[in-house]
Amino acid sequence: MKVLGVSGSLRADSHNTLLLRGAAELLPAGVELELWHGLRDVPPYDEDSDVEPAPPAVAALRAALAGADAVLFATPEYNSSVPGQLKNALDWASRPLATNPLRNLPVAVVGASTGAFGAVWAQAELRKVLAATGARVVEGEVAVGHAHEKLAAGGALLDENLRDQLLEVTDGLVEAVRMRTAAMAA
């Protein structure tokens, strides 16, 4: 089973990317998390360019989603919302709406910020956007406030509560994939 990890931050030392690395350590045997590195390359959404063939970075994004069994998003909060670069990528991924690669795909959202609230508003907005694309948004929230104190370089989780919360979300995501696979085979 392959889980695509999408960080909403482009920063090299991103806490959100570290959070995904930490989540990767919690996945059961047989489930791998692959970090997606293409966010920086996705051009601004332009409906005139949203034709076949798609811009290469967009085609790569759509292929990465189509090749994943699930997606785990970790988002920062920029001005109380989803970072523009992540929203932009999802706008590309959402088209065409009826057949987009997010449709029915199990996804989960977590988030980290250096402030107290752990990107809760951005997470809520990201869940709303993902639901609009047709993705199957798995319940559960991990809001990592004061992220610089809870994540070590490499993604080691320094907080036991954080580990438990993250495990609940990753378990829920894996379970959603299993249920979807079973439903498709029936």
Distances (CA, A) of 72 to 52, 79, 106, 128: 28, 22, 9, 15
* Helix and strand numbers, DSSP H then E, in the chain: 5, 6
Q: Does 114 bind ligand FMN (CB under 6 A)?
A: yes
9 forms part of the interface with ligand FMN (CB under 6 A): yes
Residue from the set 94, 100, 113, 133 that interacts with ligand FMN by CB under 6 A: 113
Q: Is 35 in the site for ligand FMN (CB under 6 A)?
A: no
- Give Cα separations from 106 to 56, 65, 178, 183 (angstroms): 25, 11, 10, 13
152 forms part of the interface with ligand FMN (CB under 6 A): no
Residue whose CB is less far from ligand FMN, 45 or 117: 117
Nearest CB to ligand FMN, comparing residues 8 and 101:
8
Binding mask 46-85 for ligand FMN (x = CB under 6 A): ------------------------------xxxxx-----
Backbone region of residue 75 per phi and psi (left: phi > 0; alpha: psi in -120 to 50; beta: other values): beta
Among 12-20, 45-53, 156-164, 174-182, which window interacts with ligand FMN (CB under 6 A)?
A: 12-20
Instruction: Give the interface with ligand FMN as residue ranges (CB under 6 A).
Output: 9, 11, 14-16, 76-80, 112-115, 117, 119, 147
